[in-house]
Structure formats: structure tokens, C-alpha cells
Structure 1
Amino acid sequence: MGTNSLKGSRLFAAVALCLLSVAPVFAESQPLSLREAIVTALSNNPDLASQRKEAGVLDAAAMRAGLLPNPTLEVEVATGALTGSSDDNTLSLGISQEILLGDKRSKRRAVTERDQAAYRWLLADRERALKEQVQGAYCDVLLAQERLGLARHSVELNRQLLAVAEARLAAGDIPELEMYLVKVELTRSEGSLIELQRGLLDGRTKLFTLMALAPGESPALSGSLKSVDAPTKGVGDLKQLAMLQRPDLKALHAALQKSDAEVALAEAEGIPNLTAGLALSREASSMEIGGIEGRETSYTVGVKFSMPIPVFDRNQAGQQEARAKRSSAEIRLQGAAATVEREVETAHVSFINAEAVLSLYRSNILGQLDENLKLTQEAYRLGEVGILAVIEEQKKYFEVSDGYLTALHARQIALNKLESAVAADINGGAQ
């Protein structure tokens, strides 16, 4: 590689670093813990806020279900003026009320109450999903921060190596090509640092969007990928806990109860309602007897009852529809329960596998790599090994270190998914 090409690469990296240095600086504030991030997201998320407001629609439906039918007012006026009997007239005033039979009112309230319960559990399930998203985004930012620190360490090591190479070149111990190889590695590590800085910015933006923070708010994070409480319960206990805690299962169970209430209501709708009425009439008439004209006014009070005769329609279609919905709700609940068991089992296996991968890094392998790197760097300084050996050892060190960070991140993500599948803190307690 030519000298001009290397200088151009170094210049590009320097310009890129300068551009990133003028990026918006995160506002200084108290470090944000994972729990605080979750609480903030659940409080501020606009989708959840709008769905909480929509619960008022079901509240209105419950209010409507408990109302009685309005009474009916009937007024009738008749006159004989058009038939030549202007003195004859009739005035009738009546009021009627529909009486719900079959306890329809309480059955309608039962349907709306079950509907309200199902909606509340669906809302809780959306909160569970949002919590998992926030946990994942939070862990992604922590991983990006750790990788960024590792990249800075790589840049620093390459700068130190370049200083050693320049000193050895000045002493005539190495050819100029070795110094150029070190410069290439330094440029590559600086480019990786730039990419990781951009990735960290994207990750923070995603997290703060989920939290619905104001544009100017950019708190630092206080969490760590190393702080994980392993589950103390077995997969069987976790499945049982999920059956008790999962809000989506509770929503489907409430929907099944609503279907039962709809069946009872449909059966009650087959009983016709009774309409009772009370009427007051005044009838005025005139008559002529023996050339003498007289007027007569009479008052009558009447009671009226009416009810449809359920000969043809006894709400058979409504009952069939309600029973079909009930069967469908039962099948959905059974299917969802089986799915939840599979989710818990899969999440538990994923966590065990993540723990197994992480255990490979716990046998002091990182410490040994660090020691090997230092020995190789010192050997190069003394002229005992070539530059390629140092570069290869550095690559191995950073690849293994990045693998360790990835394993920590994978274990945390697996734990988050297991907690979400159970819908509880991993060692008990509802989320």
C-alpha cells in the first residue's frame, strides 16, 4: 500500500472523528436504571396512554347496559269539528313502560363487565410486550457502550504499537513496511470506533423513543450486563407460574367468561318483554233532547299490558351465535395455553444455552489473553517477534473480548425473554 493511500485513510478517520465530536452532547443527569426506564416507558408511551383512554368506551357500554328502557308518553286528541260535531272531542293521555323479563339487565351488565376485564388484561399484555422491548433496547445500549470502550482500547494499543514501530524504524531495526502495517491497523481500529459510536447513538435513540422522552433528554445508563439473577425455579414451576400470571391468558379467560355471559343473555332474549301502560281519557260530547241541548263529559282510566307471542322467533339465531362464539373462545384459550408453555420452555432452554456459552469465558481465558498480548508486545519491542505476531495477538484478544460481551448480552436478553414469557420476576412476583 502506498504512502499517499495510508495518509488519505488517516485523514479520513481524523475528519470523521472531528465530525462526531460536534454531535449533540448528552445532557448531564442522574444515571438511568433499567427499572426507571421501564417505569418511564409505561407512563409516557403514547400508544399505551391512548389505549388506557379507550377503556372509557367500555365504561360507557357498562353504564348503558345498566339503564332501564325509557317510558313512552302517548297523547291523543280527537275532535268532531270536521264532521259537524264541533262540541265532541276526546283527550287521552297515557304512559307505558317496557319491563325487562328474564333478568336481561343484570345479564347485559355481566357481559360488559367481562368485556372490561378482558380489555384490562389485554392492556396489561401490551405493557408486558413494551417492557420486553425496553429491556432489549436497554441491553443493546449497554452492549454498544462496552464495545465502544473495547474499541477505544484497541485504538490506544495500536497507537502505542505505532510509537514502538516508529522508534524501531528510526533505530533501523525494522523495514518501513512494518510501520505501514501498524498504521493500517490503527486506521482500521479508528474506523471501527466511528461505526460503534454511530451504533451507540442509534441504540440510545431507540431506547429513548420507547420511553417517549423529550428530544433534549439523554440520560446516561447505570446498568450492567454482568448483574443477572439466575432463575431458582425449574421449568415446570415456571410454566405453572406463567399460567397464573400471563395477562394474555387472563384476557382469553375473561373473553371465555364473556361468551358464557352472552349465552345466558341470548337465552334470556328469547323471553319477550312486557309492556305495561296507564291511560287517562276525557271525552266530551253534546246531545239534544226535546229541543234542549246538553253537554256531557266523562273520564276513564285504563291499564294496558302487551307482550309479543314467541311463536316464530325465540332468538334461536342469537343463541346459536353465542354458543359458537363460546366454543371459539374456548379453543383460543386452549391453544394459547399450549403456546405459552412452549414459549416458557424455549426461553428457559435459551437461557441455559446462553449460560453454557458464557461459562466458556469464565475459566480465566480473558486474563490469559491479556497476559499473552502483553508478552507479545514486549517481545516485539525487544525484537524477538515480528509485527504480524503482534497484530494477530491483538485481533485474537479483541475478538474473544467482543465474544465475551456478546455472550453477556445474549444471557441478559434470554433472561428478559424468560421473564416476559412467565410475566413475572424470574424468582417469583408478578411483573
Structure 2
Amino acid sequence: MNSLKRRLPLVAAGCVLAVAAWDVGPARADPAPAYETLLQRIGQTPARQEAQALLEAAEARLHQAGVRPNPELAVRADGVLGGKPYAGWGEAEISLDVTQNLELGGRRGARIDVARAEAGISALRRDLTDAETVARLALTYAEAEAAERRFALAEEALALALADARAAMALVEEGREPLLRGIQAETEAAAARISTEEARAERDAAFARLTAVAMLPTPVTSVGDGLLDRTSPTFPDSGETSLTVRVAEAEAETAARRIRREQIEARPNVSASVGVTRYQAEDATALTFGVSMPLPLFDRNRGNIDAARAEHRAAEARVTGARMAEAAERSAALARLRVSANRVAVGDMGVTSAEEAYRLSRLGFEAGRISQLELRSTRSALIAARDAAVEARLARVRAEVDLARLQGRAPFEGGR
């Protein structure tokens, strides 16, 4: 009995320390901006600004592709500074020529076609970047909210463990339970405290990620109007091609246009020149005309043509792969979204049942009708059910994010 009396204050002291540590926490600040508010700031993200800059560069190259080549100006002096009768400038023939590359055979048009197709790819990639940025924001927002809820649940689990420990100590003092039960309760409370600290760390890390992704000026410390409780809006699956496939298709079309450009480059490039020549000896001036073109004896651009054809085959293979992947992802996202709704409903029912089971177990434990082991089991089941309910809601958000990305819309657009 003396040993029991010495041990009980230690158990009580441990619980008091756990309560004190549990009550101490950082002051909460204002919640993060609403999800819809953050969507309006997508254009400020570095990824969006990079994609927009690349689009502007492609549009500038398209403009440059339509510019004709500059003419060449040449001045030539023949028959000067040599032996007699060309010792001076008396017998000189001075010519002034202007040469223009005619770009015959559709060279300019092919160059413009390729540049226009590349600008179209850049525009699609910008849209794809927007979609991926929105999806990342929605998922990060939901993960931060889930981490906050898990921390709150860990605090509740700690409170339940402390309450059970106090009830166990009361039974020990009354002699209805051995001292071992009190020690076990103290150990469970300490484990619950560790779980709470781990949940706090996960919450803070999730808040830090949300602060970075949303580019917020001050760190996020809580999430207000979140996404976990929102129902996914009903959008009919029109089967519209996703942005990923459209980018692959545009790349294949651009590769085909590059083949035509390289084939045209293999044709001789004609240049025309016009000029004037001054004949010093005769004190006369005459016009000169000329046409020049390379002889395709060695370079017929075969290597570039073959490379362009190989790149086109690779692009076509990427299109096939993207279409197959999109079909699989679309079916999987629709299936996950349907299942997630049932999973959330079942999870909520499980929480309700677990709460009632724990309440009855607690009453039975205090009345001495059930053991501490049974109480611990129902408490663990309650904690697991609450965690499963949060995970079910996060899974629903992930499914909605995946489906929205494939349908080319923002997640939870028009849904509450």
C-alpha cells in the first residue's frame, strides 16, 4: 500500500505535465485567403510568368519569320593599282551592286508556318501551366486543411487519453484496478502527446508549403474556408481532349511542318542583283544585272530532312501515348470520384458509430464493467475512424483535382 501511495503522485504528476504541455500552443492568426481568392492570383506565380514570357518570345519569332532578308550592297573596283596600263585609276571599272535573296519556292511561307505552329505550342503550354498550377494550389490547400484537422484530432485524442488516465487513476485509488493500469494509462497519454507533436509538425510543414505555393506575403497559420467539405460539382464528361494531348498533337503538327521547311531548304536559293558600273577609260556608265544560285552538288540537306522525319515519328508516338494515358486517367479519375463520395459517407458513419462505442465504453469502464484494454481499443478505433474520415475527404479532393485537370477547368469550379 505504501508503494501504491508513492506511485500515485507520480502518475498524477505525469498527467498534469501532459495537460500543461497540451494547453500551451502558438497564437492563431487570421486564416489563409479563400481558395477562390488565390485562384485570381495564378497569373503572379513564377511558373505562369515563365510560360507567358516563353509565349511572347515565340510570338516575337513568328513576327521575325515574316521579315524578308536584307539586300546586300557591294562595291567593287577592277583594273586599278597594277602594272601599265592599270597603274592608277585611269582604266578602273567601278561597280556598285545590290543583291536580293528572292526566297523562291515557298521558303518564307514555310518558315512562317513553323514559327506560327511553335507559337501555338507555347500558348497551349501556358494554358497547361495554368491548369497544373491551379491543380497544385487546390491540392496543397486541401492538404494544409487536412493537416490542420489531423492536429485538432490529435489534440482531441490526447484529451481522451488524459481523461481515461484520470479515470484509471481514480479506480486505482479505490483499489478496483492494479497500479499497472495507472502506469499504462500514463504511457498512453505520453504516446498521445508525441502523436500530437508530430501532427503539429506536419501541420506547420503543410502551412509552409501552402504559403510558398500561394505566394502569400505572411506565413499561413490556419485554413478557414477549405475544400475538404465541398462536394465535387457535376460536369458531364464531354470527352474533350485534354491540354496534355493537345500539346502533343501540336508538337506533331509542328514536326510535320519542319519536314516541309527542310525539304524546301534543299532547293537552290536564287538571288538577283542589279547595279551600275563606271568605266573610267571610256568615261561611260552602264547598268549590270545578274542572277546567282548554288549548285546542289554536295549539300542537299538530306541530314536535316531525315532528322525532321525522325522527330515527327517521335512526336506521333508521344501523341499515341498521351491519348492512351488520358483515356486511362479519365476513367480512373471518374471512378475515384464516384467511390470517394461513398467513402466519405461511410467514413462519417464510422465516426458516429465509433464515438457512440467509445462513450458506452467509457461509462462501462467507470462503472467497472469493462476493462481498460477494452476502453483503449474503442478509443483507438475512434481515433482511426476520425483519421479515415479526413483521409476520405482528401482522397475526394485528389480525384476532383485529377478530373478537373483532364476536363480543362479549375477544381471545384462552381461547387460548394
TM-score, normalised with respect to structure 1? 0.81
**Which region of structure 1 is more displaced relative to structure 2, 177-186 or 98-107?**
177-186
Is 1:413 the counterpart of 2:398? The answer is yes
Residue 269 of structure 2 aligns with which residue?
273
Shift of 1:315: 4.1
Quickly say closer, same or farther: Cα 1:131–1:428, change in 2 above 3 A: closer
1: CA distance, partners of 2:145 / 2:264? 59
1: CA distance, partners of 2:38 / 2:222? 10
Residue 290 of structure 1 aligns with which residue?
none
Q: Deviations over 1:211-260 (max 9, x none)?
A: 23335455634214121226454xxx45x23x2xx112111221122123
- Residue correspondence of structure 1 range 43-54 to structure 2 within 5 A: 43-54=43-54
Q: Secondary structure at the match of 2:284?
A: strand
Does the 8 Å CA contact 1:370/1:397 hold for their aligned counterparts?
yes
Quickly say closer, same or farther: Cα 1:386–1:307, change in 2 above 3 A: closer
Residue 58 of structure 1 aligns with which residue?
58
Q: Secondary structure at the match of 2:97?
A: strand
Is 1:395 the counterpart of 2:395? The answer is no
2: CA distance, partners of 1:256 / 1:224? 38
- Residue correspondence of structure 1 range 284-295 to structure 2 within 5 A: 284-285=280-281
Shift of 1:35: 3.3
Letter matched to residue 188 of structure 1? A
Quickly say closer, same or farther: Cα 1:163–1:303, change in 2 above 3 A: same
Shift of 1:115: 0.8
Q: Secondary structure at the match of 1:399?
A: helix
Residue 257 of structure 1 aligns with which residue?
253
Letter matched to residue 366 of structure 2? R
Is 1:34 the counterpart of 2:38? The answer is no
Quickly say closer, same or farther: Cα 1:230–1:276, change in 2 above 3 A: closer
2: CA distance, partners of 1:413 / 1:74? 67
Shift of 1:379: 2.8
Does the 8 Å CA contact 1:76/1:91 hold for their aligned counterparts?
yes
Letter matched to residue 330 of structure 2? V
Residue 121 of structure 2 aligns with which residue?
118
Does the 8 Å CA contact 1:91/1:282 hold for their aligned counterparts?
yes
Q: Secondary structure at the match of 2:283?
A: strand
Residue 212 of structure 2 aligns with which residue?
209
2: CA distance, partners of 1:225 / 1:73? 71
Q: Secondary structure at the match of 1:73?
A: strand
Shift of 1:337: 0.8
2: CA distance, partners of 1:53 / 1:229? 34
Q: CA RMSD in A?
A: 3.3
- The counterpart of 2:130, out of the listed 119, 127, 130, is 127
Residue 76 of structure 1 aligns with which residue?
76
- Residue correspondence of structure 1 range 346-385 to structure 2 within 5 A: 346-362=332-348, 364-385=349-370
Shift of 1:73: 1.0
Q: Secondary structure at the match of 1:227?
A: coil
2: CA distance, partners of 1:132 / 1:251? 18
Shift of 1:136: 2.3
Letter matched to residue 32 of structure 1? P
Q: Secondary structure at the match of 2:92?
A: strand
Shift of 1:174: 4.1
Does the 8 Å CA contact 1:232/1:427 hold for their aligned counterparts?
no
Residue 293 of structure 1 aligns with which residue?
none
1: CA distance, partners of 2:413 / 2:320? 24
Letter matched to residue 72 of structure 1? E
Does the 8 Å CA contact 2:341/2:396 hold for their aligned counterparts?
yes
Q: Secondary structure at the match of 1:213?
A: coil
Q: Deviations over 1:72-105 (max 9, x none)?
A: 1111234555424433333221211111101211
Letter matched to residue 198 of structure 1? A
1: CA distance, partners of 2:276 / 2:222? 77
Does the 8 Å CA contact 2:361/2:370 hold for their aligned counterparts?
yes
1: CA distance, partners of 2:123 / 2:102? 33
TM-score, normalised with respect to structure 2? 0.84
* Equivalent residue pairs, number: 406
Is 1:21 the counterpart of 2:56? The answer is no
Residue 292 of structure 1 aligns with which residue?
none
Shift of 1:140: 1.7
Residue 146 of structure 1 aligns with which residue?
149
Identical columns (%): 18
Does the 8 Å CA contact 2:204/2:221 hold for their aligned counterparts?
no
1: CA distance, partners of 2:113 / 2:252? 12
Is 1:229 the counterpart of 2:232? The answer is yes
Q: Secondary structure at the match of 2:96?
A: strand
Residue 279 of structure 2 aligns with which residue?
283
Is 1:103 the counterpart of 2:88? The answer is no
